[in-house]
């Protein structure tokens, strides 16, 4: 099983979370790599069985939340036939960001099997929980 984490990050929280998730995957025996959305390793993407796409929440904190720099997500390479999961970091309230990311990533052809919003003040705990949920979802997919 090969997993790839692709992240969009403005101030570093989502980058850090992406790195923690990749480390957690490797710790559980899964080959995991991580790269920013602006420099995607296309060979690694083509070899990946599951792709985790992360971004941050952009809004006015209680309304209008959406994935940060959503156009970058909409321009992801085609991921037909791949399983995917989405995640985001947020400060206060993620709103419908995960649902919006799911729609965007499905639009790139991937089958999204789960998503999780992670508060930026517990990235370590969030990474462990996300990988737990991902492995459960993959086992029952
Ligand atoms: C322009 C802007 C708008 C934001 N809007 C929201 C918001 O509506 N809700 C929220 O919970 N966090 C909001 N945040 C906080 C970020 O989502 C949070 O700090 C996130 O972890 C940033 O990720 P990054 O460090 O990878 O860029 C906003 C941050 C910025 C810069």
User: What digits encode the pLDDT tens for the residues 79-88?
Assistant: 999 999 999 9
pLDDT at 62 over 90: no
Q: What is the pLDDT of residue 140?
A: 86
Q: Say yes or no: CB of residue 57 within 6 Å of ligand 1.
A: yes
Q: What is the pLDDT of residue 141?
A: 74
pLDDT at 61 over 90: no
- % the chain with pLDDT above 90: 94
Q: Say yes or no: CB of residue 12 within 6 Å of ligand 1.
A: yes
Ligand 1 atom nearest to 59, measured from its CA: 8
pLDDT at 12 over 90: yes
Rounded mean pLDDT of the chain?
A: 96
Instruction: Give the model confidence (pLDDT) of 72-124 as tens digits.
Output: 999 999 999 999 999 999 999 999 999 999 999 999 999 999 999 999 999 99
The count of other CB atoms within 10 Å of the CB of residue 58 is 16
Instruction: Give the model confidence (pLDDT) of 23-33 as tens digits.
Output: 999 999 999 99
Closest CA to 90 of 70, 69, 65, 115: 65
Confidence of residue 50 (pLDDT cuts 50, 70, 90): very high
CA of 58 to the centre of ligand 1 (A): 5
Average pLDDT over residues 50-72: 95
Q: What is the pLDDT of residue 116?
A: 98
CA of 121 to the centre of ligand 1 (A): 12
Ligand 1 atom nearest to 120, measured from its CA: 21
């Amino acid at each position: 099983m090969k997993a790839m984490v692709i992240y969009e990050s403005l101030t570093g929280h989502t980058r850090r979370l992406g790195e923690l998730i990749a480390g957690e995957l490797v710790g559980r025996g899964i080959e995991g790599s991580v790269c920013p959305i602006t420099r995607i390793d296309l060979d690694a993407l083509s070899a990946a069985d599951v792709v985790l796409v992360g971004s941050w929440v952009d809004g006015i904190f209680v309304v209008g939340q959406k994935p940060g720099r959503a156009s970058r997500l909409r321009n992801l390479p085609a991921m037909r036939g791949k399983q995917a999961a989405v995640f985001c970091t947020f400060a206060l309230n993620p709103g419908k960001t995960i649902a919006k990311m799911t729609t965007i990533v499905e639009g790139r052809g991937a089958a999204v099997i789960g998503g999780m919003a992670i508060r930026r003040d517990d990235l370590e705990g969030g990474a462990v929980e996300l990988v737990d949920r991902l492995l459960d979802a993959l086992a029952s997919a």
